[in-house]
């Protein structure tokens, strides 16, 4: 056994490892449309597969919990098949899971997120975990958000970030079963309020207001090689963050 993935273990097996486990990772994804390019499980599987790589690198100090296969996706509901949680449900699930983990003696929790729509709720959730449950916690991105400097060099379209070359590449490398290779299409963008958003605040927008086909960027430029680069960078950065913040190690950069 070279990784601790909770759903792959039995209760006696996890009991033997509890004293070595310092941190639990909860991957958070979504069940939402990704245009013609990727299936509904994309964000969930990307966060879970990233979590598995981290659990391998940090064995036996990290325990990977089951993934959130649903997230906050109101802004994708105009596209058939998307399922959304209310923010209250999402936050409540995180609190209930963290409370269970705390009962088993785990005091540190990292939420590894692969879906932008979850971010506001994650911010509320980590405050509750810290100030109401007394846990050491954080949330961190695991996709193109955490590799935005690399993507700035590689991206081929003005607006990327969903079912784009970055997300499709990462999926090709990490979870190829998600990708519809023969249907890959560029985002069909509309000229809309997304471009007119204020720098000082926020406009709530829906994906059907900005794209005809549910995608951004240009998925036809995706490659396994770019996916490998994104994944390695993301996993290196999350590992460094865990070592510094949760394990209090000094990292030389």
- Of 35-43, 55-63, 65-73, 173-181, which segment contacts Zn ion by CB under 5 A? 35-43
In the numeric block, the tokens 């449900």 are attached to 89
| Interface region with Zn ion, contact rule CB under 5 A, candidates 40-48, 177-185, 191-199, 241-249 | 40-48
Closest separation between CB of residue 36 and Zn ion, Å?
14
| Residue placing its CB nearer to Zn ion in the complex, 58 or 71 | 71
Q: Is 43 or 218 the residue whose CB approaches Zn ion more closely?
A: 43
Cis peptide bond prior to 249, omega within 30° of 0: no
In angstroms, the Cα distances linking 26 to 2, 92, 130 are: 18, 14, 15
- The full length of the chain comes to 253
- Secondary element (H or E) of residue 148: helix 148-154
How near is the Cβ of 114 to Zn ion at its closest, in Å? 7
Q: What is the 3-state secondary structure (H, E, C) of 100-132?
A: HHHHCCCCEEEEEECCHHHHHHHHHHHHHHHHC
Residue 143 per-residue DSSP state: S
Q: Cβ 165 to Zn ion, closest distance in Å?
A: 13
Q: Using the rule CB under 5 A, is 43 a contact of Zn ion?
A: yes
CA atoms within 13 A on the CB side of 135: 30
Residue with nearest beta carbon to Zn ion: 43
The strand pairing partners of 108, in sequence order, are 136
Within a 10 A sphere around the Cβ of 243, how many other Cβ atoms?
Answer: 16
What's the closest the beta carbon of residue 11 comes to Zn ion, in angstroms?
33
232 exposure class (CB count in 10 Å sphere: 0-12, 13-18, 19+): middle
Q: Pick the piece of the chain touching Zn ion (CB under 5 A) from 38-46, 65-73, 83-91, 240-248.
A: 38-46
Residues 172 and 143 sit within 8 Å (Cβ to Cβ):
no
| Least gap, CB of 163 to Zn ion (angstroms) | 7
Nearer to Zn ion, 21 or 238 (CB): 238
Q: Which of residues 95-124 bind Zn ion (CB under 5 A)?
A: none
Q: How far is the CB of 42 from Zn ion (least distance, A)?
A: 5
Q: How far is the CB of 34 from Zn ion (least distance, A)?
A: 6
Stretch that binds Zn ion, among 42-50, 90-98, 149-157, 234-242 (CB under 5 A): 42-50
Shorter beta-carbon distance to Zn ion: residue 43 or 49:
43
Where does this chain touch Zn ion (CB under 5 A) — which range of 20-28, 34-42, 150-158, 197-205?
34-42
Q: Point out which residues pair with 64 in neighbouring strands.
A: 5, 25
Build a one-symbol-per-residue string for 149-168: x at contacts with Zn ion by CB under 5 A, - elsewhere.
--------------------
- Binding positions for Zn ion, rule: CB under 5 A: 42-43
């Amino acid at each position: 056994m070279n990784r601790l993935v909770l759903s792959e273990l039995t209760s006696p097996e996890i009991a033997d490892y509890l004293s070595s486990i310092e941190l639990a990772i909860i991957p958070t994804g979504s069940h939402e449309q990704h245009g013609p390019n990727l299936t509904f499980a994309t964000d969930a599987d990307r966060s879970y597969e990233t979590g598995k790589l981290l659990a391998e690198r940090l064995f036996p100090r990290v325990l990977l919990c089951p993934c959130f296969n649903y997230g906050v996706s109101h802004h994708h509901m105009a596209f058939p098949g998307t399922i959304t949680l209310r923010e209250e449900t999402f936050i409540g699930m995180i609190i209930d899971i963290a409370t269970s983990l705390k009962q088993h003696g785990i005091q540190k929790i990292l939420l590894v997120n692969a879906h932008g729509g979850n971010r506001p709720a994650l911010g509320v959730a980590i405050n509750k975990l810290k100030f109401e449950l007394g846990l050491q916690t954080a949330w961190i991105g695991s996709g193109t958000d955490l590799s935005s400097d690399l993507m700035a060099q590689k991206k081929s379209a003005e607006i990327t970030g969903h079912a784009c070359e970055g997300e499709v590449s990462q999926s090709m490398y990490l979870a190829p079963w998600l990708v519809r290779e023969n249907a890959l299409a560029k985002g069909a963008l509309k000229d809309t309020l997304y471009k007119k958003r204020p720098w000082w605040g926020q406009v709530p927008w829906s994906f059907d207001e900005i794209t005809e086909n549910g995608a951004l960027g240009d998925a036809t430029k995706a490659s396994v090689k770019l996916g490998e680069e994104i994944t390695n960078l993301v996993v290196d950065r999350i590992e460094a963050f865990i070592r510094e913040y949760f394990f209090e190690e000094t990292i030389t950069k």
